[in-house]
Structure formats: structure tokens, C-alpha cells
């Protein structure tokens, strides 16, 4: 078999209730029989492995990789390492791919967009007293549409849209693009796609060129308790020469209580989000600082970091910038004492918070 265009990587832990629907949605995609599906079983103790093996019996393009429980980032990284596809895409085991935008767009018709920018990313939030019945129509060209766009422009990253369903809090939200767009390394383009990577809050609903990931040593940070998706995607679009956006292709994100990104315990949430904020910016800022083209972007994200510091638990405050960075009138950071102090803080944070867990 020739090298596939796409490898879809699905990390799963105890996903017996959802992995079937996830695989059905991926397998139904146009041309998927010629591409690769890698399911990484992260030490599940339920029937996840048995279910995937049943799918393997009828689908030779499914690869099952079983590992000891090590977390979603390790699972994704191991999936990338054994993948053969020219492009990589990630799908969570409780999500599905390929939703027709036409089947849900009327829910947003009467609501103004509350976030948009020149690059066309729109976010709408619609809350309901009780969740309505949705007549969802599948889209069988989710991956094909993004592959076509990525290949046409030789893109390193292709960003699709997503629809979030939260059946416990009764809301749906969209992150969708109005029209196709192509972004090179012009500073305003880089500013736009970095913002996208931040507000999308996921590494899913996207394609990444495999050689690009390897060439920039891009993998998920295995010690981050949260937001490893956000960091991965931000670093990817930062290093990418070409990023494309793909309207209409919609990923279905099912937000469930008790998952890593939806923590119920308040104390646990504060601790994990504090670490995630520090770890994310302690990686992003040095990456921006390494290229003089992004000096203005460094300042913007430094201020975003300083603004986020108010949400950091007291025991982690030593690592974050103080309010002086928010009050600074300079458009670009120079060699001021705060910049030097922050560089030291970033180094300390990476040594303490990014160290391997024993």
C-alpha cells in the first residue's frame, strides 16, 4: 500500500461507550479506506480494546496501539511516532467528525457573533433552558475538504471548524470560518492564527503535515495537566510557513463532566489551571523571543500572560509576570529589568513544572 495522505490518531482511555460512534464517523469519511486510523489504547480497563479489535476485523486500515496508562499527550505522541500519513489529524474518542453546518446553523441565526476578526473566525454561544433535539446531518467530506485545501497550498497546518455540544449545561457553541483563507509568515497573519489557536482550545479539527511536525520537534507536552492542545497548536501555527483555514468542515466536540478539561472540584481546577497557564506561556514566550520578526507579538502575549496571572494560585505566583507589564507603554519589549526577570522565571518554571513526573 502506498503512503496514505492522512493518519487519524484517536487516543482513548476507558472509552467503550463512545469509541464505536467515533470510529463510525471517521470510517464514513470519503476516501478513508485509503488512509490510516491509529487508535491508541491508553491502558483502558473496560472493553475498549475488544471493541476496536472488532472494527479491525473489517477494516484493515485500523491500527491498534496499546500502552500502559500514561495520559492523552503520551498517547498522541506515540500515535504520531508510528504514523505513516503525510498529514496528521487528532480525534478524541468521545467526539465525532463530519457535521453539516446547514443542519445546525439556524440555531445561531438570531444571535450576533460575539467574537470575530479579519481572518473570519466566528464564535457564537447559544444557551437553552432545555437542550432541544438536534437533527444532525453528517458531512462525509470533512477530511477530504481539509486535505484538498492543505495540498493545494502545501500548507503545514489546516484549521477546520468545530461545534461544541454541552448537554449538561445546555448550550452549543460554534468556532467556524466564513471563507477559506491562506496565511503566510507576515506578522499580521501570524497574529491572527496565534489568536485562533488560543481561542479554539483544541488540537483537533485540524491537519498537520507530518514532516513539518518532525522538522520542528513538535509534540504534546506530557507533563501539562491541561491546555496541552492549546500549546501544541499555538507552537504549530507559530512555526508554520503556510496555514490555511477551511470553512464548512465541522468537528463535533462533546463536552462531558469529569474530563480533564471540565474539572468539577474547585481546588483541583485551580491547581491544574495555574500550572497550565504557567507551562503554556513558559514555552510560548521563548519561542516568540527566538525570532526577531515576532518581537511585537512577544509583547502582546507577555501582556496576555500578565493578565492571566490573576487566576494563578498563590503558590505559583513566583513564576508569573507582575502588573508592571500591563502598565508598560512600550509597543515592544526591550532589555528592561522586567524582561530579564521574566526570562529567569520562565527558566525556573520549565525546570520545576516541566520536569518528568516520577
**Alpha carbon distance 268, 256 (integer Å):** 17
What's residue 235's pLDDT? 98
Mean pLDDT in runs of 10 for the chain (358 residues)? 91 97 97 97 97 97 97 97 98 95 82 68 87 87 97 98 90 90 95 93 96 98 90 98 94 69 66 89 92 92 87 84 76 74 77 64
Single pTM value for the model: 0.92
Fold of the CATH domain 6-254: Spore Coat Polysaccharide Biosynthesis Protein SpsA; Chain A (3.90.550)
Contact in structure between 190 and 298 (CB atoms under 8 Å): no
What pLDDT, on the 0 to 100 scale, is given for residue 257? Answer: 44
Partners of 99 in beta bridges: 138
Domain boundaries, the chain: 6-254, 266-353
Q: Beta 243-254 vs 181-183: how paired, if at all?
A: antiparallel
Q: Which residue has the cell 516568540?
A: 288
Q: How far is CA 186 from CA 189, 191, 217, 294, in A?
A: 5, 9, 23, 10
Backbone angles phi, psi at 93, to 5 degrees: -70, -15
Please tell me the predicted confidence (pLDDT) of residue 260: 47
DSSP string, 210-271: HHHHHHTT----TT-SS-HHHHHHHHHHHH-S-EEEEEEEEEEEE--TTSTTS---HHHHHH
**Which of 96, 91, 115 has the alpha carbon at shortest distance from 174?**
115
The DSSP secondary structure of 160-195, one letter per residue, reads EEEEEEETTTTEEEEEEESS-EEE-S-HHHHHHHHH
Closest CA to 350 of 321, 319, 306, 322: 319
pLDDT score for 118: 61
Amino acid at each position: 500500500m502506498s503512503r496514505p495522505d492522512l493518519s487519524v490518531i484517536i487516543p482513548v482511555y476507558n472509552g467503550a461507550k463512545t469509541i464505536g460512534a467515533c470510529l463510525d464517523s471517521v470510517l464514513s469519511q470519503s476516501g478513508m479506506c485509503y488512509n490510516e486510523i491509529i487508535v491508541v489504547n491508553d491502558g483502558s480497563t473496560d472493553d475498549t480494546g475488544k471493541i476496536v479489535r472488532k472494527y479491525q476485523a473489517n477494516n484493515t486500515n485500523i491500527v491498534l496501539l496499546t500502552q500502559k496508562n500514561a495520559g492523552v499527550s503520551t498517547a498522541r505522541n506515540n500515535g504520531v511516532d508510528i504514523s505513516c500519513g503525510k498529514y496528521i489529524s487528532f480525534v478524541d474518542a468521545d467526539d465525532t467528525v463530519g457535521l453539516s453546518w446547514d443542519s445546525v446553523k439556524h440555531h445561531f441565526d438570531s444571535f450576533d457573533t460575539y467574537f470575530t476578526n479579519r481572518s473570519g473566525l466566528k464564535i457564537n454561544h447559544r444557551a437553552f433552558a432545555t437542550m432541544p433535539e438536534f437533527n444532525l446531518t453528517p458531512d462525509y467530506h470533512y477530511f477530504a475538504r481539509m486535505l484538498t485545501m492543505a495540498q493545494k497550498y502545501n500548507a503545514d497546518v489546516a484549521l477546520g471548524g468545530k461545534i461544541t455540544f454541552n448537554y449538561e449545561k445546555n448550550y452549543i457553541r460554534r468556532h467556524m470560518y466564513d471563507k477559506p483563507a491562506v496565511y503566510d509568515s507576515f506578522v499580521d497573519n501570524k497574529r491572527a492564527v496565534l489568536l485562533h489557536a488560543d481561542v479554539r482550545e483544541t488540537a483537533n479539527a485540524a491537519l498537520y503535515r507530518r514532516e513539518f511536525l518532525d522538522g520542528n520537534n513538535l509534540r504534546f507536552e506530557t507533563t501539562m495537566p491541561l491546555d496541552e492542545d492549546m500549546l501544541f497548536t499555538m507552537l504549530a501555527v507559530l512555526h508554520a510557513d503556510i496555514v490555511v483555514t477551511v470553512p464548512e468542515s465541522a468537528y463535533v466536540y462533546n463536552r462531558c463532566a469529569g474530563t480533564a478539561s471540565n474539572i468539577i472540584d474547585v481546588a483541583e481546577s485551580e491547581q491544574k489551571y495555574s500550572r497550565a497557564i504557567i507551562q503554556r506561556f513558559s514555552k510560548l514566550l521563548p519561542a516568540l523571543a527566538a525570532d526577531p520578526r515576532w518581537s511585537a507579538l512577544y509583547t502582546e502575549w507577555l501582556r496576555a500572560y500578565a493578565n492571566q496571572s490573576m487566576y494563578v494560585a498563590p503558590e505559583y505566583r513566583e513564576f508569573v509576570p507582575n502588573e508592571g507589564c500591563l502598565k508598560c507603554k512600550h509597543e515592544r519589549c526591550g532589555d528592561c529589568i522586567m524582561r530579564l526577570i521574566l526570562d529567569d522565571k520562565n527558566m525556573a518554571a520549565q525546570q520545576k513544572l516541566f520536569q518528568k513526573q516520577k
